[in-house]
Chain A
């Protein structure tokens, strides 16, 4: 199947700093990518849909100024957590659609101290 990568896989940062997470589709082009968040022992929560060349579509309750999404090319979307706080600590997962199937990245563990 298609491969989606994320970088970094784990990041620890101080409160108030910004963190950028990259999501790449390695062997296919994706006009649409998705960003999810998962809290411990909970399901995946869709945060936003990232559209290449246009603004992201955010789910209700997700702060667009807090979670900046850029989809500058058909193979790269980035999520920047701005002014991170401990409550932003979570597991962030991206995915991209290739024809009829949505493929997920391995996830990024963010810990904000």
Chain B
């Protein structure tokens, strides 16, 4: 049973527009969430995090929103750039336990 889901395997967005990557989870005990970006043949790179005590965290072009009641979080990238084309993973942890990763969403930003 997948505790962390990323239901869109891929997403295409025009350069300059907003990219919205979604992540849903089933475990209500999850209290800390991370987003990673991964290029081919490289390890994932940490992007941004959010704690369950917040509903939004912003870092430059990246904003993560958390809706605890819906068990849903999303990563917004605006404006999207071609260099943002990568696979994005969300991850969740409960009480400092090991992170559970979603299957990833491949983002393609078209010039």
A interface residues (Cβ-Cβ under 8 A, vs B):
1, 4, 6, 32, 34, 43-44, 46, 49, 91, 93, 95, 97, 100-107, 109
Which residues of chain B have C-beta atoms less than 8 A from A44's C-beta?
A: 44, 89, 101, 104
CA distance A104 to B37 in the complex (A): 11
Q: Are B104 and A93 in contact (CB under 8 A)?
A: no
**A101 and B43 in contact, given A43-B103, A49-B98 (Cβ under 8 angstroms):** no
Could you mark each residue 15-33 of chain B with 1 if its beta carbon is under 8 Å from any beta carbon of chain A, else 0?
0000000000000000010
Other contacts beyond A44-B89, A97-B99, A102-B91: 8, CB < 8 A: A93-B44, A97-B98, A100-B49, A100-B93, A101-B46, A103-B46, A104-B44, A106-B42
CA distance A111 to B91 in the complex (A): 29
B interface residues (Cβ-Cβ under 8 A, vs A):
32, 34, 36, 41-46, 49, 89, 91, 93, 96, 98-99, 101-104
CA distance A44 to B38 in the complex (A): 10
Q: Please report whether the interface of chain A is mostly helix, strand, loop or mixed according to DSSP.
A: strand
Instruction: Give, as a whole number of angstroms, the nearest-CB distance from B87 to chain A.
Output: 8
Which residues of chain A have C-beta atoms less than 8 A from B49's C-beta?
A: 100-101
Q: Are B36 and A104 in contact (CB under 8 A)?
A: yes
29 A-B residue pairs with CB within 8 Å: A1-B46, A6-B43, A43-B103, A44-B44, A44-B89, A44-B101, A44-B104, A46-B101, A49-B98, A91-B41, A93-B43, A93-B44, A97-B98, A100-B32, A100-B49, A100-B93, A101-B34, A102-B34, A102-B46, A102-B99, A104-B36, A104-B43, A104-B44, A104-B46, A105-B43, A106-B43, A107-B42, A107-B43, A109-B41
Instruction: Give, as a whole number of angstroms, the nearest-CB distance from B12 to chain A.
Output: 16
CA distance A50 to B15 in the complex (A): 41
Most chain A CB within 10 A, of B89, B93, B99, is at B99
CA distance A6 to B43 in the complex (A): 10
